[in-house]
Amino acid sequence: MEKDWLDHGITILVVILIFTVQMLITTFLVLFERKFVAWMQVRIGPNRAGPWGLFQTVADALKLMVKEIFVPRGADRTIYMLAPFLTVFPAFMAFAILPIGPSFEFVHGDKTHVVAIQGANLNVGILWLLAMSSVAVYGVMLAGWASGSKYSLLGSVRASAQVISYEAALSLSILPVLLWTGTLDLQEIVAAQSGWNWYAFGLLLIPFVSFFISGMAETNRLPFDLVEAESELVAGFHTEYGGARFMFFFLAEYINIMTISAVAVTLFLGGWNGPWVPVQADPAGWQVALGVLYFFLKTFVLLFLFIWIRATLPRMRYDQLMSFGWKILIPVNLVFLMVLAGLVVMQEVGAWPAGFFR
Amino acid sequence: MSPTPPVLAAQARASAHLADARMAIELETPEMTLNIGPQHPSTHGVFRIVAEVDGEKLLKADPVLGYMHRGYEKLAEVRTYPQITTLVNRIDWLSGYCNEIPFILGVERLMGIEAPPRAQYIRTILSELARISTFLVFLGSYGIELGALTPFFHTMRDREKVLDLIEGVTGGRFHPNFNRVGGVKDDLPAGFIDATRQVMNTVEDICKDVETLLFGNDIFQQRTTGVGLIPLEKGLAYGMSGANIRASGCAVDVRRDEPYLVYDDLEFDVVMDDRCDSYARAWCRLQETLQSVRIVRQCLDRLPAGKIMAKVPRIIQVPPGEVYTRAENPLGELGYHIISRGGRIPYRVKVRTPSFSNVSVLPWLLKDVWMADVITILGSLYFILGDVDR
């Protein structure tokens, strides 16, 4: 089908919408985290800016933006200035491929237009996410390297080692989903999980758990926040950053958390699937809205899990982190992948009842 | 063609040598010198370590002390005995009250005075309360050092209640300055006993929470077991004391070995562990908190009626003499060597602080350890900078 100006206009609109929603959710995610953690820690949390502290993050962002931009002596100026953007850019991009709600159609003139609530429906699908999370390592690495501070350097060394190791585990826990559905297309992966056929509730629970754990490591959250372990490395790779540039790192971190949760929802928790939202060519308007709501609701549950874990666990040590990744997560995933591949082949030759576990 | 002048030849040789050296420098990976502190989030103040690190491994560490030196020993030489009580309060600022005890006992011994039983009991109760409040700080902040923030807020909440008790009696939260030569300043306020009993239940609860939620945590155990092993002979050689040496398998406790105040009337266990690692040190402090609760409860049960001040002259004049008194401070053994040449002012006061001896083991201990373990070890030794530098 040829795309006309209306299709392109719709795409641009959707992209702007997703960007806005993403920024808004990230803003409130920071607040929610502070509030939830405060409650778990018998504190009150932010409550000064706006009712219930709602504008706290906005106030913080404004404050950071008007701060002086400085470059420490001994820093590599160009890379130092560039690194925050290298981190925040892939974070935004990774979110673009996720289908947030069911696609719907509308007729304009004599043509039917399909609106997908998705930044871009790439045919490489989930690989885009892996690519973007790989690129994001550079921002962290270069930030630590270019700061010219030893603490930053140690933080970035930890970051690169940790993120690269856990990316292997992350990819390996995505693979079973791809093998099971036989496609890289996220729309199809979501559609395959319709009718309560969520992967996390079936055979793919193991990759789901491993995805969540390696996702925590990817986003440098406790118990894997060695990159910015404040009791050891002061603030890790962004020790020397201040003002708006620090804000970008902070923003990227929270967007990454949201992306990981959203990807987990898409791959394992049925995406926008839920009661009264059928997978069909032309859902009603309220069904689309409900689908979007389901998507963010599930994401929020996972985000809460992130926050909860942060308030609960101590930090792991570098060598323990590495051995956990390489000696436990990756082997478990590899074995599971082999078993699953065997199952898929058996189903194809008919040695295993089709529909079983599917 | 003239021969190369010798100076130029030497230069050529030197530059060739330099190039070789540069090659060598590029190929080897020299250690990085990392300065941890004096301003660092996990050093409890202004403690500084100059460390040689190779990636994540710390090869050698050199603690630099003295950033907190306030010269209390010298200051004590120009102050009267009651004034010095204020100074010694600030040595270990988390358990100010405990610091007064050995000093006051020393002065009393020099003067040949003994405080009446009720005053002794009040002193015991207050020093155990100070001990509990210090250990609650430890139990929380040790979690922070390992990355778990939540326990800190919970223990701080309950420590606040203990501090409220101390404030209720003395009027001060950290630095009560409550002891007088020959007794204590005031009697216990009304309702103190019931309030203390309640708070002791709270402390017991929070200790159980910390035990199950923090000490029972898998990551916590992985981070602390086998980390920072101090064998008994090393610990003794460095003069370590308190929970640090008890965790290395030596059941010394001044409260039992050389009872002062009313400790010989009370029943309590000397907590001991022979695992020698960071976990054991933290575990000992947790158990000692519970023992302190036990002591406070016994004191409340047996609290005698009577006077709180012995008969003392209005102006404290100490006869010539020399005395060394020691007490079990929360951090270890605190001792005062007081030399008097008569009069209102001591000739010399030497303070033996537990933290100073405890951190002296660090250069030996911090060899070939992980960067993260440095913080684990520092935290497990539990020193207060004021106590290290005086």
**pLDDT tens digits, residue range B2-38?**
555 666 666 777 676 666 655 555 556 667 788 887 7
Query: What CA–CA distance (Å, rounded) separates A201 from A205?
Result: 6
pLDDT the model gives residue B290: 92
Residue A19: is its pLDDT beyond 80? yes
Binned at pLDDT 50, 70 and 90, residue B259 comes out as: confident
Chain A positions in Cβ-Cβ contact with residue B55 (cut-off 8 Å): 157
3-state class (DSSP) for residue A117: coil
Binned at pLDDT 50, 70 and 90, residue B199 comes out as: very high
Degrees, nearest 5: CA angle A65-A67-A71: 110
pLDDT the model gives residue A314: 87
Q: Among B149, B209, B374, B377, which would you mutate to test the A interface (most chain A Cβ atoms within 10 Å of its Cβ)?
A: B149
pLDDT the model gives residue A11: 81
Q: Which of B55, B143, B373 sits opposite A317 (nearest CB)?
A: B373
Q: Do residue A42 and residue B223 have CB atoms under 8 angstroms apart?
A: no
Q: Do residues B89 and B188 touch, judged by C-beta distance below 8 A?
A: no
Q: Do residues A277 and A292 touch, judged by C-beta distance below 8 A?
A: no
Q: Do residue B32 and residue A150 have CB atoms under 8 angstroms apart?
A: yes
Least confident window among A38-47, A274-283, A299-308, B240-249: A274-283
Binned at pLDDT 50, 70 and 90, residue A335 comes out as: very high
Q: Do residue B223 and residue A316 have CB atoms under 8 angstroms apart?
A: yes
pLDDT the model gives residue B24: 53
DSSP letter at A124 equals S
Q: Do residue B372 and residue A318 have CB atoms under 8 angstroms apart?
A: yes
b/e for A34-55, b at 16 or more Cβ within 10 A? Answer: bbbbbebbeeebbeebeeebeb
Q: How many domains does chain A have?
A: 1
Chain B positions in Cβ-Cβ contact with residue A41 (cut-off 8 Å): 149-150, 152-154
Q: Which of A42, A157, A223 sits opposite B154 (nearest CB)?
A: A42
Bigger pLDDT: A102 or B200?
B200
Q: How far B8 CA lies from chain A's nearest CA (Å)? A: 35
List alpha helices for A182-242, DSSP H.
Answer: 186-192, 205-218, 230-233
Residues of B near A (Cβ–Cβ under 8 Å) read: 32, 34-35, 40-42, 53, 55-56, 143-150, 152-154, 157, 214, 217, 219-220, 222-223, 370-375
Q: Which two tokens stand for residue A329?
A: 């997560």
pLDDT the model gives residue B324: 92
pLDDT the model gives residue A90: 86
Give the mean pLDDT of A325-349: 87
Residue A222 near chain B (CB below 8 Å)? yes
Q: Considering the domain boundaries, does residue A208 fall inside one?
A: yes
Give the mean pLDDT of A164-181: 86
CATH superfamily to which B61-388 belongs:
Cytochrome-c3 Hydrogenase, chain B (1.10.645.10)
3-state class (DSSP) for residue A92: helix
Q: How far B351 CA lies from chain A's nearest CA (Å)? A: 31
Query: What CA–CA distance (Å, rounded) separates A256 from B184?
Result: 60
| Residue A90: Cβ-neighbour burial (10 angstroms; 0-12, 13-18, 19+) | buried
Q: Considering the domain boundaries, does residue A148 fall inside one?
A: yes
Residue A315 near chain B (CB below 8 Å)? yes
Q: Do residue B150 and residue A40 have CB atoms under 8 angstroms apart?
A: yes
Give the mean pLDDT of A329-354: 83
Give the mean pLDDT of A110-118: 75
Residue A311 near chain B (CB below 8 Å)? yes
Q: Per-residue pLDDT tens for A186-215?
A: 888 887 777 777 777 777 888 889 999 988
Q: Considering the domain boundaries, does residue A11 fall inside one?
A: no
Give the mean pLDDT of A283-297: 82
Residue B154: is its pLDDT beyond 70? yes
| B276: β partners | none
Query: What CA–CA distance (Å, rounded) separates A310 from B30?
Result: 36
pLDDT the model gives residue B390: 80
Q: How far B153 CA lies from chain A's nearest CA (Å)? A: 6
pLDDT the model gives residue B27: 57
Q: Which of A40, A223, A319 sits opposite B147 (nearest CB)?
A: A223
Residue A358: is its pLDDT beyond 60? no
B55: closest chain A residue by CA: A154
Domain extent for A134: 72-103+120-348
Give the mean pLDDT of B133-139: 91
Q: Do residue A41 and residue B144 have CB atoms under 8 angstroms apart?
A: no
Residue A314 near chain B (CB below 8 Å)? yes
Binned at pLDDT 50, 70 and 90, residue A130 comes out as: confident
Contacts 24+ apart (CB under 8 A), A182-187: A183/A125, A184/A123, A184/A124, A184/A125, A184/A126, A184/A127, A185/A121, A185/A123, A185/A125, A186/A97, A186/A98, A186/A99, A186/A118, A186/A121, A186/A125, A186/A126, A186/A266, A186/A271, A187/A99, A187/A103, A187/A116, A187/A118, A187/A121
Chain B positions in Cβ-Cβ contact with residue A233 (cut-off 8 Å): 371
Q: Which of A43, A157, A314 sits opposite B223 (nearest CB)?
A: A314
3-state class (DSSP) for residue A353: coil
Binned at pLDDT 50, 70 and 90, residue A293 comes out as: confident
Give the mean pLDDT of A321-349: 87
Query: What CA–CA distance (Å, rounded) separates A195 from A197?
Result: 5
Domain-by-domain residue ranges, chain B? 61-388
Give the mean pLDDT of B83-105: 87
Q: Do residue A316 and residue B149 have CB atoms under 8 angstroms apart?
A: no
Q: Do residue A311 and residue B223 have CB atoms under 8 angstroms apart?
A: no
Binned at pLDDT 50, 70 and 90, residue A70 comes out as: confident
Q: Per-residue pLDDT tens for B326-340?
A: 998 888 889 999 998
3-state class (DSSP) for residue A42: coil
Least confident window among A10-14, A43-47, A81-85, B42-46: B42-46
pLDDT the model gives residue B19: 63
In this prediction the ipTM stands at 0.79
Q: What is the mean pLDDT of chain A?
A: 82
Query: What CA–CA distance (Å, rounded) separates B13 from B16?
Result: 5
Q: Per-residue pLDDT tens for B262-307?
A: 888 888 888 888 888 899 999 999 999 999 999 999 999 988 888 8
Q: What is the mean pLDDT of chain B?
A: 85
Chain B positions in Cβ-Cβ contact with residue A308 (cut-off 8 Å): none
pLDDT the model gives residue B61: 85
